[in-house]
A and B are shown apart, each in its own frame.
Chain A
Amino acid sequence: MIDRLKSMINGVEADFIDIRYEIKSETKIGFTGREIKSVGSNRTDGYVIRVGKNGGFSSATVTKEEDVPRAVELALEGANTIVATGGKRSVLAEVPVVEKNIGLVLDGDPGEVSIDEKIELTRKYNDLMLQQPLIETTNLSYREIGRKKHYVNSEGTSVSEEIITTNISGEVVAKRDNLVQNIRLSIGGADGYSRLLKREDIFIKRAKIAEQLLDAEPVKGGTYNVILSPLLAGVFTHEAFGHFSEADIIEDNPSLRKKMALGKKLGSDVISIIADSTMSGQLGYYVYDDEGVAVKPVTLMDKGVLTGRLHSRRTAEAFGEPVSGHAVAEDMRYEPIVRMGTIYIKPGEKSLDELFAELGDGLYLIDGKGGQTSGENFTFGAQYGFKVKNGKKGAMIRDINIMGNLFTTLRNIEAVGNDLELSESGGCGKGQLNIKSALGGPHVLIRNMVVGGV
């Protein structure tokens, strides 16, 4: 395939051209309640072309091989128009030329497991939840997505890499009269099928939490001191801080670039944040990004000081900072953009008991329920939580959403726990959906968070 791709871009009059061909495979099994709603294994493919010429840079994606010449034309037209209209000049940072073929390292190859076994595993977990007395229904899906990528550029780099992500995820719904409460759940990762086995406890536990939420109080809106659970701290890290560490987000906003200058003290002394997609076994794991650059761990924040940023080749050159290998696309429909892989808060030294004692009165908020950022403002939901009085966990609460300003919140982080948990499934939307987005951290104590309540 690599030779075919090379022949497709040979002779194109440009300063730089690359092409990525990808075969995407997907196996999906879906249950709604006791009913199986979908089963299927499918495979599809497509091409992504990027061209740099005279400082202009543009891309085009096509499904069919016969459309590749048209894609090259469109990308050239885009690059030329950017130059002609005085648009942004793009230069790619220099990186080593490599020829690599990266295979799968899996604990249990899902490709060797029959569809019937996958159905039965998903059904077993689904039934465990439905057996709980107040559970009305479930939505549970097995999803296995494979990306086999072949990348070639005009500098001589060629990389082939295969990645498979498997997970079982969904929600469990409890109901009493007209009150409906749901809890999300997910298991999985990028390290093979074995991770999905013997996980019965999680499904039973999540179903019981959904049932308990029927008796929980809606949280009262206001400003609170809070402890975030590891996965919720991860949502904050990803949504509020992580996106701002993606160079393409702030690149064309001068005021934000100033605020996010490396060396600035933005957080309290206790907070350090790391992006590390090289950690094996994690959901965000990969070796080469979608422009043929090896991914590197980056310490984004060290004791409150901004120390690193996530880059594509283009943004690394524009910022004059090191390349990090974070240009990633959802699949063959998209050009790569700067993405987090695995991001987490570095654990500190305090136990959960010590954090509760330090909190005194406030809220303990657990597990993420989606988040969104707009510039420095963020919001994210918690799946459930508890009131805390005099350092003791009290009544369960529900309907929790938090809003804040990134910079204020980073300064308000008062203590960091000594534990660490990383998410097993992801789904970060930034124009494209990145399912290989892992996040997490330890428990974290933050002062003065705005909590919206009913």
Chain B
Amino acid sequence: MEKLLNLAAKVSDQAEIFSIRNDSSSLEMRNGKPTDMSASIQSGFALRILRDGRIGTAYTKNLLDREELVSNALNSLKGKVEAGFIFPGPSEIPPSWEPDGSISRMGYNDLHSRSGKVLDYLKGKAEGQIDIQSGREVIDIAIMNTRGLDVSRKSSFMYIYASLLFPNTETSVHKFFHSREAGDFPEKDLNELVDLYFSGLPEVDTPTGRMKVVFTPDTMYTLLWRLSTATSGTTFYNRISPLQNRREEKVLSEKFTLYGDPTEPEEVDQHFFDDEGVPAGKLVIFEKGILRNLILNLDYADKLKEQPTGTGYRGTMWGGDTVSLPPGPSLKSGRIAAGNTSFEDMVKSIDRGVIILGVLGAHSGNILNGDFSVGLNPGFYVENGKIIGRVKDGMVAGNVYDVLQKIESVENLQHFSLMGGRYPSILINDVSVAAK
């Protein structure tokens, strides 16, 4: 990396190298049998150079020719992409936690053994098809720039995803176990999975109309996707946010507080700097419904004349090859502050409503405007405080700025979400549900 940085420094005012190495393997068991085992060792390098207020970028996965990479960045510079920002200098970044060696050492036999335990536990408890995916991943990220920044982090984790399919369908309920060290799926979570399965076993007709709706942690991204788009520096700079000119105003229910904090100790991918080397920490976006901060990378912090927020990351909702993507504003390790209602009491308080356990189509609809219209996959119908069964062909629709004004209660616990972050369930009044 140093040789590359030195080479780039000669042709630029400032230069930055981002490198990543990712070593992963995964195992899939469908219908109780191992069906796929695959492994991947990928690397990559991304170069950014600043010269005369402009930026040039280049990347490669296989650093065979440093001069070619620098030449690609110089060619990119000819595109005259303006950049008013500078790269961050060295700063006091606490060392990230040391990765547990047990993850690096995990082989297919270990993954199979842990997945097998889940299978054995669930067998006989529910008649639905059992599908299990498990895997391990070790990631090394390093960033160096010509202002003296030289930071790196290692992270490693394993996961097991267990799902139970309702008979003769592909609709399922699932639970996810995610850990920094090699471990087994907690039985408590597997028992909850079985309970969920039986709650949703009957398929029921659901009336169309406005009713109470619970967004559970795994479905929260439907709402957060729209909020993070609206509060992104990109959207604000381009003057297309519905929240434009509403900083420090109460725009959502006072029961709603959203922040991101990748430094929290329980975060599986705990880290202290973003993908531009800017120190990361707790960033509050909405505090009791009041819009406090925007999500910024270096570029949009400069354009909006604000301080960088440590939220510049390479990546998209759809994955993509990390090194090929420029750092954009993105809220990592999202949190919604817990409320004071247990999930059981939340369900008991519903006279008529739907608990959304999974959604289809969160990416469809007018995200910029905050609109959503998602299929329930699955959703459970509740009457008089009791779950009656799973909704047949149902959709829930609304506008995030409308529905998040009508929060009735927030669960008193945060749960890890499959899409990242930790959130409580949220009960919302008067939401449109369409069903066949």
Contacts and interface: CB of A to CB of B under 8 A. Distances in A.
Interface of A: 26, 29, 32-33, 35-46, 58-64, 67, 70-71, 74-75, 77-79, 81-82, 85-88, 115, 119, 136-137, 173, 175, 178-182, 218, 221-223, 251-256, 331, 333, 335, 369-381, 398-401, 403-405, 408, 427, 429, 433, 448, 450-454
A74 B240 contact: no
A372 B436 contact: no
A380 B318 CA distance: 17
Contacts of B167: 255
**Which 4 interchain pairs have the tightest Cβ spacing?**
A375-B170, A39-B79, A381-B364, A87-B34
7 contacts: A78-B38, A173-B238, A180-B240, A369-B364, A370-B361, A377-B377, A454-B397
Question: Which of under 10, 10 to 19, 20 to 34, or 35 or more describes the interface residues of B?
Answer: 35 or more
A36 B368 CA distance: 21
Nearest to B55: A38
Interface of B: 25, 29-31, 33-44, 56-62, 68, 72-73, 75-76, 78-82, 107-109, 112, 116, 129, 131, 165, 167-171, 208, 234, 238-240, 242, 244, 318-321, 324, 326, 358, 360-361, 363-366, 368-369, 371, 373-375, 377, 393-399, 432-436
Given A39-B76, A62-B40, 7 more contacts: A36-B80, A45-B61, A81-B108, A173-B238, A180-B366, A221-B397, A380-B361
A40 B398 CA distance: 39
Instruction: Pick from B79, B208, B244 the residue with the most CB of A within 10 Å.
Output: B79
Contacts of A86: 33-34
Given A75-B39, A81-B34, A81-B109, A373 B360 contact: yes
Contacts of A179: 369
Contacts of A450: 393-395, 434-436
A26 B107 CA distance: 35
Instruction: Pick from A42, A86, A173 the residue with the most CB of B within 10 Å.
Output: A42
A62 B37 CA distance: 15
Given A401-B361, A453-B397, A71 B39 contact: yes
A42 B57 CA distance: 9
Given A67-B41, A454-B399, A42 B358 contact: no
Nearest to A45: B62
Contacts of A454: 371, 373, 397-399, 432
Nearest to A223: B436
A277 B129 CA distance: 34
A336 to B, nearest CB: 12
Contacts of B432: 221, 452-454
A452 B365 CA distance: 11
B429 to A, nearest CB: 15
Given A63-B41, A454-B373, A252 B31 contact: yes
Given A39-B76, A255-B167, A370-B363, A77 B238 contact: no
A42 B239 contact: no
A402 to B, nearest CB: 8
Nearest to A70: B41
Contact of A403 (B61, B131, B169, B394): B394
A63 B44 CA distance: 8
B25 A74 contact: yes
Contact of B58 (A42, A63, A218): A42
B266 to A, nearest CB: 28
A404 B41 CA distance: 39
Given A63-B61, A136-B240, A370-B363, A78 B108 contact: yes
Contacts of B35: 87-88, 251-252
Given A63-B41, A401-B361, A38 B395 contact: no
B37 A82 contact: yes
A399 B41 contact: no
A371 B375 CA distance: 10
A133 to B, nearest CB: 15
B168 A399 contact: no
Contacts of B373: 381, 399-401, 452-454
Nearest to B303: A35
B31 A372 contact: no
B191 to A, nearest CB: 24
B34 A221 contact: no
Given A29-B79, A178-B244, A454-B399, A399 B371 contact: yes
Contacts of B377: 374, 377
Contact of B366 (A74, A331, A372, A399): A399
B129 A115 contact: no
A137 to B, nearest CB: 4
Contact of B239 (A45, A136, A222, A401): A136
A427 to B, nearest CB: 8
A253 B363 CA distance: 27
A252 B163 CA distance: 14
A115 B366 contact: no
A399 B240 CA distance: 18
A32 B59 contact: no
B224 to A, nearest CB: 17
A405 B377 CA distance: 12
Given A62-B41, A399-B366, A450-B393, A379 B108 contact: no
Nearest to A255: B168
A380 B374 CA distance: 9
Contacts of A33: 238
Contacts of A433: 318-320
A99 to B, nearest CB: 27
B364 to A, nearest CB: 3
Contact of A375 (B62, B169, B396): B169
